[in-house]
Structure formats: structure tokens, C-alpha cells
Structure 1
Amino acid sequence: KKMKRVLKCIFCLWVAFLMMANAPPASVAQEESGQAAKGEVEKKRDLGEWWHRNPLTYNPVPEEFLYHFEATYSWDRVTGNFTSDKHDLGTLLSLRKKIFTYNLRYAFDKRNVAKPKDPPNQEENRDLRTSTKHEIHNDFRIALTKRLYGAAGSFWLEDDYIKIDKRLTYYGGMGANLLNHPRLKLDVFGAYGYEEKDRTSDYHDIYLMVKDWGLEGSIKNYEPGTQSYSLIYLAQSARAYLTRSLALNQSVTYFVDPDENDRYRWKFNIGLDIKLTKHILASISYEEEYDNDADSLLGVLKRDATKGVGIKISF
């Protein structure tokens, strides 16, 4: 037992000696430690949630390549055209180099749209019972000043719920950071754009069926082919940090055809992000969508409201 203790002591002494021999001088170590700590503090102080900030608000502007990814899953209850349940998946990828920022958003939702009092054959009509939606938003920004930025981008939508096979929207415009307080951010954006829209084959089949019945006169604004028109795109967004673990988000988007004022749509969203861990958040949201161009052929109502709860992963 004594020999084991001696061997342990010798081993510990050798380890301590080797560590001391390889250690830098105290002054150098303190200097390096101080610089590392200072660099870490500056990095945390400077960056934070950089994807919500104009890069020119940093001094100096970060030189490194920055990236951010988040994914959100939520379960929603929709009221409006139908009272239905919906599963939403959304992702965001943000990339930044100096004053240039690129955001890529993807949204997917799947819903059961069958009504409780539908005809007995509703179980056989799968198109009636399920619906899917895909949307991609590309947004490229360049910071011009601490408050102003230019942006260009596009939206792509496919939604068989409202019989849209493809809707492409291109835009370019200017935005402003009206408030950039550490606990409150407020942005506005305005752009001019162009949109193309194609309906699904089901949409045209419904019209042909109504036409066979001799009721085509009751159909307004039938779209036989690709519809093309100009758009004005307006947006506003805000984020308030209520506490360290609680943030309030709010946004409004508005699209209108300047040549045909009846063709417009808007979306309002408000929600809470509740921080559970460094990379995991819970979310609560409420959203309203209004489309004044809803087609009478499909019997689609103009307004939908959605309440949802979900989980978000953020890196």
C-alpha cells in the first residue's frame, strides 16, 4: 500500500512538472488570457441576434462570414373557410458577409380541410380532406446606411387549397430601420414588383363543369391562363425583447395591384418566442390572412385566422 502511495505521488509530481515546463511565462499567459477574454466579450457584445440587425450598426462592421439557421414546427387551428387543423414547418437560413445579407425562408403546411357535415362520400374524396402548401422567399439585402437598406427578392407559392399551381412574385425596393433600440426594433419596407399566377387543372375542370351546366355567367374573374400584373409590396416588422427569455414579434405584409385596386391581399402576424435553452424556444402565434382576390368559382372566403403553438430550434 505504501509503495502504491509513493508511485501515485511520483506520478502526480511528474504531471505537475510537465505542465509547468510547457506553460508560458506568467506575464504572457495573463496577456493571452486577457486578450482571449476581451475578444470573447466583444464578440458576444457586438453580434447577438445579428440577423435582426443592420450590419452598419456595429462598430466595426464584422468581417467574418456569418450564418444563422432556425426551424419551427407548429400545430395550428384555422378558422375561416373551414375550421381545420394544420401542421406547419418553417425554416430560415441567413447568411452575411460585411454589408451583404441573404435570407432564404421556406414554409410548408399540411391541413385537413374536410368539414364535419360534408356528404357521406367525404372519406373517399382525399382532395377534399387534405391540402398542402409550399412557399419559398428569397431576399437579398445591402446595407446603405445605419438605417437604410436596399433589397431585391422573390416569392414562390404552390397551394392546392386555393387551387394555385404557381405564383411567382419578384420585387425590388428600399427599407428603413425606424427603431434600433437594444430592446425594440422596428423596420418598414416598400417595393415595386411583378407577379405571375397559374391555376391548377382542378380549377379549370370546375369551370368546365359549371359551363356544361350553363352557369358560367355566374362566375366572375375566371382566369383561363397565366395572369401577369404589377404589384406594390409593403411590409412592416417589429421585435420587442420583453425579458431575456421572452420576445414579442409582429409583422404585416401588403400586396396590391396598382392598376386594379380590387386585387390585393394582406397578412398580419403576432407571436411570442419563449426561450427554453440556448438553442430551443417555444412559440405562440396568431395570424390573419385576407385576400380580396379570392375566386368566387371556388367559394373561397377572403379571410382566414390561424392560432398556433410550436417549437423552434435556432443556431
Structure 2
Amino acid sequence: MKMGNQSYFKVLIICLIAIIGSTHAQLQPGFYAKSCPKAEQIVLKYVHDHIPNAPSLAAALIRLHFHDCFVKGCDASVLLNSTQTNQAEKDAIPNLTLRGYEFIDTIKSLVEKECPGVVSCADILTLTARDSIHAIGGPYWKVPTGRRDGIISKAADTFTSLPAPFHNLTVLLTLFGNVGLDANDLVLLSGAHTIGVSHCSTISTRLYNFTGKGDQDPDLDNEYAKNLKTFKCKNINDQTTLIEMDPGSRNTFDLGYFKQVVKRRGLFQSDAALLKSSTTRSILAQHLQSNEKFFTEFGRSMEKMGRINVKIGTEGEIRKHCAFIN
């Protein structure tokens, strides 16, 4: 009886290992090596042909990838169009300033010409985000492939899943924790704010009416706030003016954002939140010490993010066009 139990447990363990192994085996480097060997090269070539001429798109594409992964996982659901009966993620308020859809669509069409119905939009978005950041001098990280595309996209899901510029540290850590990311990932991925721009409307409350009494956010450096009010966001109703998240180097992937944050010049409340605990302050200080270390660790967090709730095997589908389910 004892020997029988031991044999049973051995078989059970072997089966569990096999199941776990098969789950991860489908998300792997070079997933399309046989089915579409030129896929990754097509993505890379298009990115390197176009991003140097439009470097601001790198920020847009990594943001698109981030907004996709945090809602239902990295399944390209953010790329789906709304229908008469469903408002999709891309039309939710938090996503109205997203861009880069046409860029992804063009790459998808090129890949489809090479290998119809083989490469997912989810993989194309993930690869494009990585290649775009690298094209402007940022880090390079591994992108295992094999994701499949989701067929559900609901605007309402963005409000409960996406970290927002006005969130405090507790909420940010909760939302990151919900998708398997930790405080280190929060700080590192916030580092992507070293590139790109935002709108004055995103920070108008911080500047003009933080507690509803016509006041300014005390966590915001006075000199920086004064500069923004004088030269950029001149009134609380400005909906159109763009502001750099890392002034002076919005197209350069570097430590500039972290340097701004420690000076209390992070643009968003979510940036200022990184100074609210000894844990996140310590992580911030560590990454300020070395550009090389930041690049390496940022890449690891991006690879980790790219694995959030991926669809593999027979889940979802391989869309023919990224904006529509088949």
C-alpha cells in the first residue's frame, strides 16, 4: 500500500510538471521560427525604417502595450474597434489619448502578406514596443512569442484595471499586484515616463485645484509648478497643450525621469507616489545609480509584463486584422 501511494504521487508530480511545462512551452523565443521565420525581422525592419523619423511614436507604442496588458492580459484587446453593441477598450476615457494603431495595422498587413493567419496582433504589439524603444537608444529585452489574440474588449474593464495618473501608491501597488507585478516593477515601468508627452488637462488639478480649494499639490516642487503655470498650462481649462514628462529629453530613454521624481518634479500624482514609501524610494535610488542597471532591470520588468495573462494554445484566435475579430 505504501509503495502504491509513492508510485501514485510520483505519477502525479510528473503529470503536473508536464502540464506546467506545456503551458510555458507555447510562449517561447522564436515561436514563429518554422511557421513564419521572417516575422520578427519584418517587425524590426519597419520599426527601424520609421521610428527614427518619428521618435515620439516609441512612447506611444510602449504605452499602447502597457494599456493592453493591464486589461485582460497581453492579448491585443486594446486594438479592437467598438461595435454597435459594444464599446471597446480603445474608446474608454483612459485610452482616448492612445495612438499608434495605424503603425501596428501596417506591420500586421506586412506580416500577413508573408504568412497569412499565423502571427498574432498581441505578439506584433509586444515586439513593436520593444523594437521601438531600442530604436531610440533604449534597452533591448527578450520577447518570447506565442501569444494569441483576445476576442473580448470592453471599455468598462479599463476603469478597474488600469493604473491612472492620479492614483496613490496603495492603489498602484494593488493594481500592479493584481497582474503579478511588484513594487520594483512599478518603479521600473514608471521609468518609461522618461519619454513622451502628456496634456495639461492631466495635471491641471495638481496645479490649480488639488483639494477643491484653488490650491496646488504640496508634493509638487514650487518652482516647477510656477514654471508650468507661466509657460505651459496657463489655466485649469487647458485641454490641448502638450507637456514633456521628462523636460528636455522626451525622445531619449535615460535616467532623466527618475532625476525629476526625486526633485519632486514628476508630472503625475502617480510619479510623486513613488516617494511615499521607504521601499519605493530605495528602489528609485538604486536605479538612479546606473543607466546600465536601469536598462537591464527595465527590460526584465517589460518581459514580465509581456507575460501577463497571455492566451496560448487554442485560446482566443489569430486575428486577420487587429481592429476586428475574425
**Larger relative contact order (Cα-Cα within 8 Å, sequence gap ≥ 6):** 2
The structure richer in helix per residue is: 2
Which entry has the higher C-alpha Rg, 1 or 2? 1
Please indicate, yes or no, whether the TM-score normalized by the shorter chain is above 0.5: no
> Structure 2 length normalisation: TM-score?
0.24
The structure richer in strand per residue is: 1
